[in-house]
Amino acid sequence: MVSIQNLHFSYKKKKVFDGLNLEFKPGHIYGLLGKNGMGKSTLLRSMAGLLFPKEGAVKVNDFNPSKRQPEFLQSVYMVPEEFHLPNISIEAFLEAYAPFYPQFNLQQFQRYLQTFDIPRDSTLQNMSYGQKKKVIISFALATNAKLLLMDEPTNGLDIMSKSQFRKVLAEAITEERCIIVSTHQVKDLENLIDRVTIIDEGKILFDQNVEAIVQKLSFRYAFDDAEVKEAFYAEPSLRGSVVVAANTEGDEGKLDLELLYKAIVTNGNTIKKLFNV
């Protein structure tokens, strides 16, 4: 689906990527995690053909995104973190943009709007930021684009809307589709993604399947000082300490993305040895 090889990219004198290699395959929802300004948006925009690498290759279904061929553009949709919508009705928006996506499904779009409880009698500019974001997400899913790129999609969504977002995204994945979600709000992706990629300062710190993570690591409370000291990462809580430690019992527990992210950023090299990388 997506192959990135030896990617180099800079903004004037600021180097973002220096020889980045990464692959994304269909049938998965990827979580691209990292702090703001660490290259997540640049990577998504490079895959969408909106930015052009200084060196290296980006391939999406054998297309070079920078050439922006019609067949490529029909198969990719990006939900940006910041966007502008015209002051028109939803129907006018569909009339203007849906024809660019041959696989667009009107019934799906209407179902997503209903799930998100979007008013149909308002122009886009009269909607709140959260409502606009949900319209864009609904449209993106309804395009049935094979590659769906989402940059901080939960920004501006309230608690209930985030729950609805996870529901519709889980229903949208197919064996032919690849969804990449970039966020620094890691809690919003729990129970949704099946592979975690953590970026920091333009480098891949960690890239593993969720199944492998919960087999190798344990996210739990610890009350013994020795256990806390041996953990890869620990932080105090009202119930003792929460830790990220080696899963020596072999029981697959629940992934805690926030703890994983902190553990990788602070002690990534030690953790990666568990995964033979």
Task: Return the CATH number at 43.
Answer: 3.40.50.300
Verify that 143 and 30 share a domain, yes or no: yes
Residue identified by tokens 């009269």 is 126
| 36 and 155 fall within a common domain | yes
- Total of domains in the chain: 2
Residues 71 and 153 in one domain: yes
- State pLDDT tens for residues 204-215: 889 999 999 999
- 88 and 146 in a single domain? The answer is yes
Question: How does pLDDT run across 86-140, given as a tens digit for each residue?
Answer: 889 999 999 999 999 999 999 999 999 999 999 888 889 889 899 999 999 999 9
Query: Is 265 within a domain?
Result: yes
> Quick one: tokens of 103?
């696989």
Q: Which domain holds residue 197?
A: 26-48+66-201
**Average confidence (pLDDT) over 150-174:** 90
Q: What is the pTM of this model?
A: 0.91
Q: Are residues 189 and 217 in the same domain?
A: no
- 189 and 87 in a single domain? The answer is yes
Q: Is residue 108 part of a domain?
A: yes
Residues 6+ apart with CB under 8 A from 72: 49, 60, 61, 63, 65
Q: Is the pLDDT of residue 17 over 90?
A: no
